Amino acid sequence: MPMRLLLLACFLVLSAQTSFAQEGGIRLARLKYGGGGDWYNDPSALPNLIRFAREHTLLDLHPRPEVIEASSDNLFSYPWIFMTGHGNIRFSDEEVRRLRLYLENGGFLYADDDYGMDQAFRREIKRIFPDRELVELPFDYGLFHCHFSFPRGVPKIHEHDNKPPQAFGIFHNGRLVVLYTYESNPSDGWADPEVHNDPPEKRLEALRFGVNILVWALSHGGLYEKQKPRSTR
pLDDT for 66-81, tens place per residue?
A: 999 999 999 999 999 9
Identify the weakest region by mean pLDDT among 11-20, 46-55, 84-93, 112-121.
Answer: 11-20
Q: For residue 205, what is the domain's CATH number?
A: 3.40.50.12140
Is residue 96 one of the residues assigned to a domain?
A: yes
Is residue 159 one of the residues assigned to a domain?
A: yes
Banded model confidence at residue 43, pLDDT cuts 50, 70, 90:
very high
Residue among 182, 210, 204, 181 at smallest CA distance from 80:
210
What lies within 8 Å, CB to CB, of 140 at 6+ separation is: none
Domain containing 212 equals 3-227
Q: What is the pTM of this model?
A: 0.88
pLDDT at 192: 96
Residue 138 DSSP symbol: P
- Res. 32: pLDDT tops 80: yes
Is residue 66 one of the residues assigned to a domain?
A: yes
Q: How many independent structural domains does the chain possess?
A: 1
Is residue 233 one of the residues assigned to a domain?
A: no
- Res. 156: pLDDT tops 50: yes
Is residue 26 one of the residues assigned to a domain?
A: yes
**What SS3 class is residue 132?**
coil
Burial of 229 from C-beta contacts in 10 A (0-12 / 13-18 / 19+): exposed
Which amino acid makes up residue 71?
Answer: S
For strands 135-136 and 166-172, give the pairing.
Answer: antiparallel
Banded model confidence at residue 128, pLDDT cuts 50, 70, 90:
very high
pLDDT at 222: 81
Q: What is the chain's mean pLDDT, rounded?
A: 89
